[in-house]
Amino acid sequence: MRLQRSRKVPDWHEYLACRRESTEHAILADFFAGADLSPDLLISEAPLMALDLETTGLDPRKAEIVSIGLVPFSLSRIHLPKRRYWVVRPHRVLEPASVTLHHITHADIQGAPRIEEVMPEVLEIMTGHLPVVHYRRIERPFLDVAARSTWGEELSFPVIDTMSLEARIHRQSLVARFKRWIGRPPASIRLHDSRLRYGLPHYHGHHAVVDSLATAELLQAQIAGHYSPDTPISMLWS
């Protein structure tokens, strides 16, 4: 099955060019320049970077980042030795419910840097890569809040969202709509359940590096099963 794009996405070239010219910070200018990849670039040639955040909640207006994981990869190889991981000390006290979820404790964050201290390094490593996430409504908004706190400027960028790709296949296709019409429940597009459909191994989730690795493997499987290495990134990004 070869899926075609029938959706609207932002004009990333226009946005990134505008932000590159308007920002007062060199690190942001470099990031926006590096994110301005050609929409015709083939996914097989794209410099990919799996990204995952662990947070104290789902609302970026109230919750905070407690860890960040980055794993560079391509369609043929995952560069796990080059992974990066940060534990971040939030400004608010950790709630028991969030500790239960991500297993980052008060002892773990004691002495850890604030998000404003790690953001320059995070963006420097991400520069020139196309981020790959599973559910962009976490990673992009939380990093936007972090950028505003660090530099006083907004931050947005194109990503490939593996959850969105699963939704196109298993919730928005004609087959998926027919299944809903006859009363079948929609397929789960959570990271673990999505991986199971491709026969990928089970990992213990809610660790930023582990989930980044899991997301990278999922995209590799999605491209192999439903797209092509010659797919332009504009058909995949959001």
Query: How many domains is the chain partitioned into structurally?
Result: 1
**pLDDT exceeds 90 at position 171:** no
The distance from CA 1 to its chain's CA centroid, rounded to whole angstroms, is 25
**Is residue 37 in a domain?**
yes
**pLDDT exceeds 60 at position 5:** no
**Structure tokens of 184?**
């079948």
**Is residue 46 in a domain?**
yes
**Is residue 36 in a domain?**
yes
**Is residue 192 in a domain?**
yes
**Is residue 45 in a domain?**
yes
> 157 or 179, which is more confident?
157
Contact 51, 212 (CB under 8 A): yes
Q: What's the pLDDT at 105?
A: 92
Contact 74, 54 (CB under 8 A): no
Question: Could you tell me the residue range of the domain that residue 155 belongs to?
Answer: 12-235
The CATH number of residue 36's host domain is 3.30.420.10
Q: What's the pLDDT at 1?
A: 44
Determine the Cα angle at 168 with ends 226 and 3, to 5°.
40
Contact 19, 144 (CB under 8 A): no
Q: What's the pLDDT at 7?
A: 63
**Is residue 2 in a domain?**
no
Q: What is the DSSP letter of 182?
A: T
Nearest to 83 by CA among 197, 231, 211: 211
**Is residue 31 in a domain?**
yes
The distance from CA 112 to its chain's CA centroid, rounded to whole angstroms, is 23
The phi and psi torsions of 123 (rounded to 5 degrees) equal -65, -35
Mean pLDDT of the chain: 93
pLDDT digits (tens, 9 = 90+) for 99-143: 878 889 999 999 999 999 999 999 999 999 999 999 999 999 999
**Is residue 204 in a domain?**
yes
